[in-house]
Amino acid sequence: MKIQAINGFKDILPDTIDRWQYIEQRARDIFARFGLQEIRVPILEKTELFVRSIGEATDVVEKEMYSFPDKGITMRPEATASIMRAFIEHGLHVQQPVQRLYTIGPMFRHERPQKGRLRQFHQLDAEIIGATEPLVDAELIAMGQMLLDELGLHTSLEINSLGCPVCRPPFKALLVAFLKQHHTYLCDDCRRRTHTNPLRVLDCKQATCRAVVQSAPSLLDMLCRDCDDHFQRVGQALHHFDLDFQINRFMVRGLDYYTRTTFEFLTTALGAQAAVGAGGRYDGLIEQLGGPALSGIGFAMGLERLALLMEQQSTQKYTASSMDIFLIALGDNALNACSRLAHLLRKNGVKTAIDYAGRSLKAQLKQANRINARYSLILGEDEWLQHEAILRNMHTQEQQPFALTDTPEEWCSRLADIIGPAPQ
């Protein structure tokens, strides 16, 4: 019996990895333009970290975390809490007042697997810590939009404000009273959430619950003066950056640490999994985890969903990985010479492939095409005796003689000059 991957855990095979690498390359490039630095955090953290940050009454903590209760540890379901833990533990705020960080890697949630949603999934996560200005919110959102644009993806942007500890409690009380009046129309989860996490009812996907919340009170109508001013200035800055957006008063996100600005990048191309990326401000989180009273804002984007969207709708031409040259050796003398040449080329930064199995010329040329080699060097016994190989451009099929009258080191140098760098 063959052993297969666990349900919800997916292999990323070589024929699709180019798209993933391209997304990560573009993300790293854009993050660098905005001054973000990479941080790498552990996959396993103390369970308490996620309970305190995400919220004990959230679906993530209640239902979805992969935890080891006897050890008190959990496989990270998201990255922000881990980055904040590292930020506090290593005193990064002492080094500079505003930290701009990002990480890329796998997260884990025990959800029902479906298109665009896996139990092991991968995220790009970007955070700006220590800045309170609305312009920073808009800048971070613009950075996310820039990545989507450069990947050639079409999404819509929605924003909302979740207020602060001043204005949210009165709204919660009003919302709970409203939900209790309509509890017979709510699903079982939302009846429970009414008492544990009422804001999550606003985000329920059940048709009956969605119908109820259409007439629910809006937090936007109850924002304190500071939160309202902050939200208005974020919208103005987004217009200043030429970003189109809509206000979605029902957007609450699934994590308790969000305050004020929240946002989502949405698509209609992935079925129920509409959010390609999402994030928001978390001004009390660092202090809640035992750190200084600093603000923060961040977002995460799902690599699986970005890759699916690229496959469906992107016209962006990204550079697939390829070999610079495939050395075709026919015969023992040719193989001995080509193996030495392959080693020298690789030492000089040339991506080089060689077949040691001694297959036919036709079979090796097929292999060169299969791996998208830019050139092939053909060396058989006759060519070896004549001290002259054949260099073929695999894209144009043009051929030229290549002299073997000097040393392998000099062959390497001349080949590197002819091949040149791979096109970008």
| The pair of three-digit structure tokens given for residue 250, joined into one six-digit string | 């029902």
pTM of the model: 0.85
pLDDT of residue 314: 59
| The pair of three-digit structure tokens given for residue 26, joined into one six-digit string | 């573009």
Of 41, 69, 60, 68, the closest CA to residue 109 belongs to 60
pLDDT of residue 424: 53
The SS3 call for residue 58 is: coil
CATH number of 14-167+223-313: 3.30.930.10
**Within a 10 A sphere around the Cβ of 109, how many other Cβ atoms?**
20
Of 30, 32, 40, 15, the closest CA to residue 104 belongs to 40
Of 380, 403, 401, 382, the closest CA to residue 390 belongs to 401
pLDDT of residue 316: 55
* Buried/exposed code over 20-47 (b: 16+ C-beta within 10 A; e: otherwise): bebbeebbeebbeeeebeebebeeebeb
For 325-419, CATH number out of 3.40.50.2300, 3.40.50.800, 3.40.30.120, 3.40.50.720 equals 3.40.50.800
Please, which residues have CB within 8 angstroms of residue 169's CB and are 6 or more apart in sequence? Answer: none
CA–CA dist 159, 333 (Å, integer): 67
Cβ pair 202, 250 in contact under 8 A = yes
CA–CA dist 65, 285 (Å, integer): 20
Q: Would you give the DSSP letter of residue 291?
A: S
Please, which residues have CB within 8 angstroms of residue 69's CB and are 6 or more apart in sequence? Answer: 47
CA–CA dist 205, 181 (Å, integer): 20
pLDDT of residue 279: 94
pLDDT of residue 315: 60
Cβ pair 55, 259 in contact under 8 A = no
pLDDT of residue 258: 84
Cβ pair 50, 60 in contact under 8 A = yes
pLDDT of residue 181: 87
Domain boundaries, the chain: 14-167+223-313, 325-419
pLDDT of residue 134: 95
DSSP-assigned beta bridge partners for residue 101: 37, 127
pLDDT of residue 16: 84
Q: Would you give the DSSP letter of residue 114?
A: B
| The pair of three-digit structure tokens given for residue 169, joined into one six-digit string | 């409690």
Cβ pair 324, 418 in contact under 8 A = no
**Within a 10 A sphere around the Cβ of 288, how many other Cβ atoms?**
14
**Across the chain, which distance is largest between two alpha carbons, in Å?**
93
pLDDT, one tens digit for every residue, the chain (424 residues): 899 999 999 999 888 888 899 999 999 999 999 999 999 999 999 999 999 888 877 778 888 899 999 999 999 999 999 999 999 999 998 878 889 999 999 999 998 877 767 899 999 999 999 999 999 999 999 999 999 999 989 899 999 999 998 998 898 889 889 888 888 888 888 888 888 888 888 878 788 888 888 888 888 999 999 999 999 999 999 999 999 999 998 887 656 678 899 999 998 877 766 889 999 999 989 999 999 999 999 999 999 999 999 888 756 555 556 789 999 999 999 999 999 999 999 999 999 999 999 899 999 999 999 888 999 999 999 999 999 999 999 999 999 999 998 999 999 999 999 988 766 5
Cβ pair 238, 176 in contact under 8 A = no
The SS3 call for residue 59 is: helix
| The pair of three-digit structure tokens given for residue 78, joined into one six-digit string | 């998201």
CA–CA dist 334, 384 (Å, integer): 6
Of 125, 89, 129, the closest CA to residue 106 belongs to 125
The SS3 call for residue 51 is: helix
The SS3 call for residue 281 is: strand
pLDDT of residue 228: 95
